[in-house]
A and B are shown apart, each in its own frame.
Chain A
Amino acid sequence: MAMPRYDKLVFEIGAPGRVGYSLPASDVPVEDPRAGIPDSYLRREAPALPEVSEFDVVRHYSRLSQLNYGVDTHFYPLGSCTMKYNPKLNETMARLPGFARLHPLTPPASAQGALGLMHDLAQMLGEIAGMDAVSLQPAAGAQGELAGVLMIRAFHRANGEKRTKVLVPDSAHGTNPASTALAGYQVVQLKSLANGDVDLADLEAHLAPDVAAFMITQPNTLGLFEQRILEITDLCHARGVQVYMDGANLNAILGITRPGDLGFDVCHFNLHKTFTTPHGGGGPGAGPVGVKSHLEPFLPAPVVVRRGEAYALDWKRPKSIGKLQAFWGNFGMLVRAYTYIRTMGPDGLREVSENAVLNANYIMARLAKDYDVAAPGPCMHECVLSARKQKKLGVTAMDIAKRLLDLGFYAPSTYFPLIVEEALMIEPTETESKETLDAFCDAMIQIAREAEQSPAVIHEAPVTTSVRRLDQTRAAREPDLRWAPRR
């Protein structure tokens, strides 16, 4: 059934004079709130904001929400994003007034619960990753990467070394080269093997004295565990090169193996992936970064420390790379992640990864006949398929994604990693049941049949969503980025 068509913007509803707020009358003896402020500093007319009632707002945004697919309503196998169920308990805990209504500049003595939670969460993440110290400050994965690479830079500099390059495989997520460049490094792209593994000989050839770091994703972006990881990290260390792990795929290895034990010097976490904080339509997330002890002096300041029985923010970090955001981290997300880890416990977390891996392999096994598998398995928590077979029939990965929307599923990640032709990256997560996976696999198999027999239905798709395929070219050529009244 088609979603109800609803084509309003908030500016197109309401009526002049209508209000949706409730504010008290002024109770202070100040006649003119603008007195004392120079005229030229003041706005002359009220901003052109909506004039709507509270109920208008509720109806409007409820209707808009219905134009979305989310994890709560739809299977959302978006690879690399770990779209697992976001427990409702986390939400209730994050909304406790003691957390949600706590101002960041409250004297630390009056914020001991919050600081204690942060301290303990950092310790737990350190244990999970086998890292010696963790900063909770980065706001998302990309900011964790920036922090990590800046720490590596500061480390080399402190050792009097001038290294200018960072090696990043061609299979990496776009933020890896972007963060590396932002940290002031020249990015050298390495060619991966067909299965996403590092080409060791090629790596060795690139490990010149001016290389500061090697940055990889483990398991790699094809969903495979990099088997020769110890050789890789040893080789890098022998050349004075730091090794960074993009921890986006941590959901595959909880309690099974740890980045620190694999020889990594730095890794970031995506709490919005592995640790069930909601994705919010694009964020917020949280991207804590963990390091081995040699990088600890460079952690973002301030660091939450325990002094006797009390917790404090330690600002005296002369070697710190500085601050990444104004305050201490995306605390609301930290409360959710903490709640999740305490809910699951050590055995639960291991079961998370085992089931994430099982689910991905199940999908791969069920679809291997109808789609090309990008690399032979077993895979870890996600599997990458290629629609190259279908492309020969004129059906692309994008077409398949659109058809899935009609069949009641959000789409896998498409065209990532870049080294796989017509990539479909499927990450089911452990929270989905076998019934859902079966329904999804049935739909994928149906699409493979349609590609052979009735491709028109795929090319037409989607037809059940509130809009059909959208003109991206027009959007980019004539950017229309804000609403204006029709003249």
Chain B
Amino acid sequence: MRYIGNTRDNQREMLGVIGAGSLEDLLVRIPAKVRLARPLALPPAMAETDLVRHLRALAATNTDADHAVCFLGGGVYDHYTPVTIDHLISRGEFFTAYTPYQPEASQGTLRTIYEYQTMIAELTGMDVANASIYDGGSSLAEAALMAASVTGRAEIVLAAGVSPLHRRVVATYCEGPAVRLRDAAARDGVLDLDAARAAVGAKTAALVVQSPNFYGCLEDLAAAAEIAHAAGALLVVAADPVNLGVLQAPGRLGADIVVGEGQGLGVPLSYGGPNLGVFAAKQEFVRRMPGRLAGATVDLDGQRGFVLTLQTREQHIRREKATSNICTNVALCALMATIYLSLLGKQGLVRVGELASAKAHYAAERLGAVPGVSLAFGAPFFKEFTLRLPKAPERIVARLAKQKILAGVPLKAFDRRLADGLLVAVTEKRTKDEIDAYAEALARAVA
């Protein structure tokens, strides 16, 4: 059988050494009453060629970003992914290792985590970053819980622009610890600062603001920081790290914890997972952080080396008192991000941001000029914006999908007041021709 090492002869020999008559003898502790008396009702084994054919056929029914022009966003994006990344992460020494429990035999992984932590801290303007959380949603949830534990307060105020998908994750994680969620309303697409001031108070552990927010608008983080800090609360900022070559590091604007979805840093779209939960914070909170941390130290000979450190925060030591239950994280996606940020480097990440912003602003102008179509908000945006359409966005999206244009995300399911809303993302990969073709197709569709 494929993927099994033992031959029948091997098995016989091994049973002899064990002193067992048969494989069955090894299973004596499993009571007959609970044995499965039939084969599993699964489809029969498939040969490689048949299975490849089957999966190719399945994959081909999906409209993916290689076979259609992708203007979808909402947290994950069709950003440029240098091919080099996949070659390097596929090296078995990275790919098939696990959590670096034996640091001497895991220096490759530990060094890349340390590099990753350094890059994320630099981009977010924070002192320390961890080795990753599952995705942007669970990262935000962990930040909310950490803020509650740091401040001893049990209420989180979320700006209305926080991704509704992420908000649902936060709600799930806050259920057990009984941390309450409150919402601060938006005005013209961004956090209404008066509403925020009214919502944030002595019970507030953190004010959570996402920028650019779910609708694409840029938030005034410095103003949000002032409001949070005046009440003794923390400011948690959700940011997309790809944008931070051009946009200011949230740490410079007063954030205490910065989280975000890091998929754009070279992680495949892969129908939404695995993604990369970015998590960074100020130094003073390091012992309350969730997840793994790699640190530098020395070996017996005084040589530099790296280990997992501050592990007394973690579940394998602290058990029910751990700062989080996370164990397996998304180390390989963090490695993708590390390689991505190395390749793009100091100049490239800025260039990505400039290109995405330029193309998004061009697209907004073109699409917003289509008769009946308008930009939903006046607030500044970066690579994503919301349109209002004169016809049901779901219909428009379905129609354009047939023309191989993934036109955007209809917002009705997320916000009933935006039943006519369509969220459009434009990355550095989109060309003028693609944007023009989209504008023309949209004009025909809404006419």
Contacts and interface: CB of A to CB of B under 8 A. Distances in A.
Contact of A471 (B97, B273, B298, B359): B298
B36 A255 contact: yes
Given A258-B36, A326-B75, A483-B115, 6 more contacts: A49-B344, A106-B63, A335-B55, A348-B4, A476-B295, A480-B296
Contacts of A214: none
A127 interface: yes
Given A23-B348, A70-B94, A322 B117 contact: no
Interface string A48-65: 111110100110111011
Contacts of B248: 40-44
Contacts of B101: 78, 411, 413-414
9 contacts: A52-B345, A58-B84, A61-B88, A67-B93, A86-B95, A187-B319, A326-B272, A402-B104, A465-B107
B362 interface: yes
Contact of A324 (B89, B102, B172, B435): B172
Interface stretch (A236-244, A273-281, A386-394, A446-454): A273-281
Interface stretch (B130-138, B150-158, B194-202): B130-138
Contacts of A40: 222, 248, 253
Contact of A434 (B13, B20, B270, B299): B13
Contacts of A247: none
Contacts of B433: 27
B48 A475 contact: no
B321 interface: yes
Contacts of A287: 328
B319 A174 contact: yes
Given A28-B432, A181-B320, A87 B3 contact: yes
Contact of A481 (B177, B294, B343, B348): B294
A284 B328 contact: yes
B98 A62 contact: no
A177 interface: yes
Contacts of A378: 18, 20, 25-29
Contacts of B76: 103-104, 326-327
B447 interface: no
Contacts of B67: 97-98
A46 B347 contact: yes
Interface string B305-317: 1110111101111
A332 interface: yes
A276 B333 CA distance: 18
Nearest to B413: A315
A58 B269 CA distance: 23
A114 interface: yes
Contact of B270 (A14, A48, A150, A332): A332
B78 to A, nearest CB: 7
B178 A184 contact: yes
Contacts of A413: 101
A175 B99 CA distance: 15
A354 interface: yes
Contact of B108 (A68, A83, A285): A68
Contacts of A282: 98-100, 109, 131, 292, 328-329, 331-332
B62 A106 contact: yes
Contacts, number: 740
A472 B311 CA distance: 10
B409 interface: yes
A363 B49 CA distance: 36
Interface in B233-270: 244-249, 253, 261, 268-270
Contacts of A22: 82
A342 B51 contact: yes
Contacts of A351: 1, 4
B273 A71 contact: no
A124 interface: yes
A72 B298 contact: no
A159 interface: no
A43 to B, nearest CB: 5
Contacts of A267: none
Contacts of A276: 3
B45 A96 contact: no
A358 B13 CA distance: 11
A419 interface: no
Given A150-B176, A225-B30, A462 B325 contact: no
A432 interface: yes
Contacts of A185: 176
B97 A470 contact: no
Contacts of A58: 84, 87-88
B63 A110 contact: yes
Nearest to A81: B98
A304 to B, nearest CB: 11
A428 B330 CA distance: 24
B90 A91 contact: yes
B70 interface: yes
Given A70-B96, A102-B271, A28 B362 contact: yes
A470 B107 CA distance: 11
Contact of A43 (B14, B172, B247): B247
Given A256-B30, A483-B114, A46 B346 contact: yes
Nearest to B352: A23
B168 interface: yes
A113 B60 contact: yes
Contacts of A142: 315, 325-328
Ordered nearest first, which 5 A-B pairs have the shortest CB separation?
A72-B92, A98-B59, A327-B272, A104-B272, A345-B45
A365 B17 contact: yes
Contacts of A346: 39-42, 44
A73 to B, nearest CB: 6
Contacts of B317: 174
B273 A325 contact: yes
Interface in B44-92: 44-46, 48, 51-52, 54-67, 70, 72-76, 78, 80, 82, 84, 86-92
Nearest to A83: B98
B112 interface: yes
A173 B15 CA distance: 31
B331 A62 contact: no
A330 B328 contact: no
B305 A467 contact: yes
Contacts of A487: none
A225 B88 CA distance: 40
Interface stretch (A5-13, A199-207, A288-296): A5-13
Interface string A185-199: 101000000000000
A70 B92 contact: yes
Nearest to B18: A365
B91 to A, nearest CB: 4
Contact of A28 (B39, B274, B320, B435): B435
* Residue in A146, A282, A471 with the greatest tally of chain B CB atoms within 10 Å: A282
A78 B343 CA distance: 33
Given A33-B355, A177-B319, A282-B328, A481 B295 contact: yes
A99 B270 contact: yes
Contact of B100 (A9, A139, A281, A466): A281
A401 B244 CA distance: 42
A161 interface: no
A386 B17 CA distance: 21
A109 interface: yes
A94 B56 CA distance: 10
Interface string A375-418: 00110100000000000000000000110010000110110100
A464 to B, nearest CB: 9
Given A281-B335, A331-B271, A323 B137 contact: yes
B137 A284 contact: no
A181 B325 CA distance: 9
A158 interface: no
B191 interface: no
A139 B127 CA distance: 27
Given A140-B327, A174-B316, A355-B4, A474 B105 contact: no
